Amino acid sequence: CVPHQLIVRTSFTIFPVRTVFRLSLVSTNFHRLTRNQLHDASIIARTQSPIHCLPLKPSMMLSKALRRPSLHRPVASVMKYHIGVRETQLGADALSKQKQQLRTQGASSVNLDTPVFQVFGSNTDIGKTIVSAGICRSAATIAASNGGRIEYIKPLQTGTDDDIPGSFPGDASFIEKHALLKDQKQGDLQCSTLFSWKNPVSPHLAAQMEGYTITDEKLLELLSDKLKAINQVNGAKAADSLVLVETAGGVCSPSASMRFQVDVYRGMRLPVVLVGDGKLGGISTTMSALETLLIRGYDVAAICLIEQDGLDNKAALEPRTSELGIPIFTMNAVPPMPEPLNKWFEEHDKVFADVNKALKSFHKTRLESFKRMEERAEQVFWWPFTQHKKAGGLSMIDSAHGDEFSVYRPDSNTVEPLFDACASWWTQGVGHGNSKMATALAYAAGRYGHVMFPENAHEPALQLSEKLLASVGKGWASRVYYSDDGSTAVEVALKMAFRKYVLDHKLEYGEFMSDEATGSKMVTLAQANCYHGDTLGVMNVAEKSVFNEKQHPWYRPEGVFLKVPTMALRDGEYVVSIDPEIAGSAKTEEKLPSLNAAFDSKRDQSSLANVYRKHVSKMIDETEEKNVRVGSALIEPVLMGSGGMFLVDPLYQRMLVQECRARKIPVIYDEVFSGWWRLGVESARDLLDVDPDIACYAKLLTGGVVPMAATLASEEVFNTFYADSKGEALLHGHSFTAYPMGCAAAVTALDMYEIFNNASGPIKDATRTYWDVNALKELSSRSYIERTFAIGTVACVELASENAGYASTEAAEFIHVLRKNGVYARSLGNVLYMMCSPLTTQDDCSKYLGTLINQIEILQAKKR
């Protein structure tokens, strides 16, 4: 067997050559099955004897004749419906493959000078190649008169023509035979197959049986290179040029890796020509295929249907497809073999000409939509955290997949991948365009839509609550309160904490309702440079800064803001920097051998621990001398985000919690940013190894797909609201509290995190990072770098600047250059950061961090 262009040979085969045998068929009916009918058949065996199959009807799938023994372990009987993702029970190899497939592949570059469409089928043996030939035939006729080019590509091909032993003509040969008219030149149409196998079965089976395979990544690389080569050929950019990429089998037929092809090609997101099924039962398979494509974000430009037996499946499909704006084109049944197809194609020339017009119109509309987006965006949008007077460099995002945006570049007329280095404002958890997540959302939307939550229960909310309490809340939390975003979650937490403080200290709320009436005041113990959101209550728990000074006339700082000690790489070493106000007569700097050493609980017995605790105690005492009560403590554990990306010495935060506990001050962890593997562990609480009374989660909670937040609380906190009067209940909420789609997204995300990280077991240290720490150590020694660090999915580089802070424009030039080099980054003033999802590969992180460091050095060299 000679595959086309490339064979990726494996170091082993699932089935050694000696175990691939000939079938001894009892029923000769099998000989009448076409290659397409056998396409998805599964023949799997581990024996050195011939396989004798029982007689089967031609309509039966070959996989029913013989199956591998089940390797399933017992499955829990708890009903989970279809929310979330269960860990495979098929053994270590299957679990490894499941983990690989949880990680969504990245986006791909696509040139739009030439219209490119992908042909998917709603089933096998429904005429994909015949439809492709008709489209190519019509397009070639038009293109021949203006120098255009028509290209047909078959990325994966299985099965050969038995009349030509050893050859691989396949579908490309069929297209060449039927798409060119007698007076047309061969150069008007180019057909190619990228990889093929001889056996007429699904690609994953052919790969097993023949002992060679191709990875999805290599397949996409070959296809991408082929498309780039086409665009460099004369005539490819002509108005009537066209490229068709025909898939193998049905929409969900697997590639050699056993990943559904609809998922394999999603990173390119080529617009689709769906070949429907005109047979009995075809209405259902066509609609299923269409919805499978739509749920993954494909645009379907047209549906082609070869009607059978006068069933008129189009009539049943059209009410829905017309709502979606998808045209349906029908053809009559194909004549039986061996009758030639020339007459059939001639009879359908007008139909295929209409298909080509529809495709051409679709492509034109797509390009026009980009132009309109560029013209209108700045006229109608009011972007958050953006000074519109200085805004520039609009990114037109056509789609997103994996860790990357697909951004339209008008200068090159291409859609290019752009690494989402800010994790879409720190939310990304499972990768953009994750089909498993999309399915979970669609299921919840179809089952519930939205239902109100007070005094009600639904399965997604219950599952999520139990998951939260068994994971980040394990050992301390017993209640889950849902809200819409991180800021609101913290608002809720403050209400909880203040109520508990008032009751624990036998006070009355009225004492603190008006400063003028009693002179009493209740404040929160917080951290300097903190940020907890943009609603008024949490704005008031932050010191004066660019985030609040000119944002609201009612802003009043209602906190005690501690200047916390921070950690970073400076001149190649981990250094804890301690403010002189904290250190007193002690040293203001401590060097650590590693970041992990900072989290060693033995430090709790050090003299520095006493220094820290005394400082916290002093700050509380000085505050309460002024007829002010410290009614809660609110911290971003370990890593402070928007305030400048500061790693806080965990020893200081542990001492803070200890002092608050001694004074019965409720402690809140704002884990909106840090929760769910952002820091390389499930929760920042795992790094501190100290429980809060209340904790807030959002962003990664739902995998970064939809907004939702949860505030977890202990039973003691809950009981402070448990009373006879409704006025003593927690009177807070919003219309979409615990909405089923948000809960389903969160359950699915948490399942994925658990599966993806379970091989490592519980991680109780900070050594796990996705970024190249050695590269950051080296960078920290540069004179133009203030500090660097990496923890979990976060990497940070602060540029040395005389105007440090959020308002600094020091990093603006770097951001602009990075976006031109495939990295969509943002900065916090002079602080550059990069962030990935918990499912991103370390190889990708090393590549993009290398881009960041390289560009910093290039720009600094220019300044010198």
pLDDT at 126 > cutoff 80: yes
Q: How far apart are CA 257 and CA 114, in angstroms?
A: 30
pLDDT at 778 > cutoff 70: yes
Please check whether residue 652 is in contact with residue 544, taking contact to mean a CB–CB distance below 8 angstroms.
no
**How would you classify the pairing of strands 823-824 and 414-420?**
parallel
Q: Which residue ranges does the chain devote to CATH 3.40.640.10?
A: 437-758
Kindly state the average pLDDT of the residues 832-843.
93
Please check whether residue 587 is in contact with residue 578, taking contact to mean a CB–CB distance below 8 angstroms.
yes
Backbone angles phi, psi at 306, to 5 degrees: -90, 105
Using CA atoms, how far residue 586 sits from 262, 591, 792, in Å, is: 63, 14, 31
Average pLDDT, the chain: 86
Residue 511 burial (CB count, 10 A):
15
Residue 792 burial (CB count, 10 A):
24
3-class secondary structure, 853: helix
3-class secondary structure, 791: strand
pLDDT confidence tier of residue 165, bands split at 50, 70 and 90: very low
Residues 6+ apart with CB under 8 A from 781: 571, 572
Q: How far apart are CA 432 and CA 429, in angstroms?
A: 9
Residue corresponding to tokens 């009918």: 37
Closest CA to 771 of 836, 703, 822: 836
Using CA atoms, how far residue 648 sits from 193, 594, 697, 863, in Å, is: 56, 15, 19, 33
Please tell me the least confidently modeled range out of 57-66, 418-427, 530-539: 57-66
Kindly state the average pLDDT of the residues 533-537.
91
Please check whether residue 830 is in contact with residue 799, taking contact to mean a CB–CB distance below 8 angstroms.
yes
pLDDT tens-digit readout, 722-768: 999 999 999 999 999 999 999 999 999 999 999 887 654 434 445 68
pLDDT confidence tier of residue 438, bands split at 50, 70 and 90: very high
Helix (H) or strand (E) holding 342: helix 342-347
**Cis amide leading into 338 (omega within 30):** yes
Q: Which amino acid is at 689?
A: D
Question: What tokens were used for 634?
Answer: 């609110």
DSSP class of residue 693?
A: S
Kindly state the average pLDDT of the residues 278-289.
97
- CA gyration radius for the chain? 31
Highest mean pLDDT among 78-87, 142-151, 369-378: 369-378
Please tell me the least confidently modeled range out of 39-53, 588-602, 823-837, 839-853: 39-53
pLDDT attached to residue 16: 33
pLDDT at 32 > cutoff 80: no
Q: Which amino acid is at 315?
A: A
Please tell me the least confidently modeled range out of 331-345, 479-493, 558-572, 681-695: 331-345
- More confident call, 421 vs 766: 421
pLDDT confidence tier of residue 107, bands split at 50, 70 and 90: very high
Domain 437-758 belongs to what topology? Aspartate Aminotransferase; domain 2 (3.40.640)
pLDDT at 4 > cutoff 90: no
pLDDT confidence tier of residue 518, bands split at 50, 70 and 90: low
Q: Which residue ranges does the chain devote to CATH 3.90.1150.10?
A: 382-420+769-864
Q: How far apart are CA 173 and CA 171, in angstroms?
A: 5
pLDDT attached to residue 74: 33
Kindly state the average pLDDT of the residues 43-68.
30
pLDDT at 177 > cutoff 80: yes
- More confident call, 605 vs 626: 605
Question: What tokens were used for 829?
Answer: 């003033």
Kindly state the average pLDDT of the residues 199-208.
92
Kindly state the average pLDDT of the residues 350-364.
97
pLDDT tens-digit readout, 240-257: 899 999 999 999 999 999
pLDDT attached to residue 420: 97
**Coarse DSSP helix, strand, coil percentages of the chain, rounded to the nearest 5 percent:** 40, 20, 45
pLDDT at 786 > cutoff 80: yes
pLDDT tens-digit readout, 214-236: 999 999 999 999 999 998 886 66
pLDDT attached to residue 83: 86
pLDDT attached to residue 173: 86
Q: Which residue ranges does the chain devote to CATH 3.40.50.300?
A: 115-367
pLDDT at 63 > cutoff 70: no
The DSSP line for 427-487 is: T-SS-BT-HHHHHHHHHHHHHTS----TT---HHHHHHHHHHHHTTTTTT--EEEEESSHH
Question: What tokens were used for 483?
Answer: 């809200």
Closest CA to 711 of 668, 747, 681, 766: 668
Helix (H) or strand (E) holding 608: helix 607-624
Q: How far apart are CA 475 and CA 405, in angstroms?
A: 39
Instruction: Please provide the CATH number assigned to the domain covering 382-420+769-864.
Output: 3.90.1150.10
pLDDT at 56 > cutoff 70: no
3-class secondary structure, 570: strand
pLDDT attached to residue 434: 95
Please tell me the least confidently modeled range out of 8-17, 384-393, 612-621: 8-17
pLDDT attached to residue 449: 96
pLDDT confidence tier of residue 293, bands split at 50, 70 and 90: very high
Angle at 538 between CA 535 and CA 542, to 5 degrees: 125
pLDDT attached to residue 298: 98
pLDDT attached to residue 469: 98
Please tell me the least confidently modeled range out of 330-339, 541-550, 588-597, 624-633: 541-550
Q: Which amino acid is at 790?
A: A
Closest CA to 302 of 365, 359, 237: 359
Q: 134 in the Ramachandran plot: left (φ > 0), alpha (ψ -120 to 50) or beta?
A: alpha
Instruction: Name the burial class of residue 311, with classes exposed (0-12), middle (13-18) and buried (19+) by CB atoms within 10 angstroms of its CB.
Output: middle
Residues 6+ apart with CB under 8 A from 409: 415, 416
Please tell me the least confidently modeled range out of 93-107, 166-180, 215-229, 696-710: 166-180
Question: What tokens were used for 285?
Answer: 């398979």
Residues in the chain: 864
Closest CA to 706 of 752, 739, 673, 733: 739
Q: Per DSSP, which regions of 541-582 are E strands?
A: 559-562, 566-570, 573-577
- More confident call, 514 vs 843: 843
pLDDT attached to residue 167: 42
pLDDT attached to residue 813: 83
3-class secondary structure, 243: strand
Return the CATH architecture of domain 115-367: 3-Layer(aba) Sandwich (3.40)
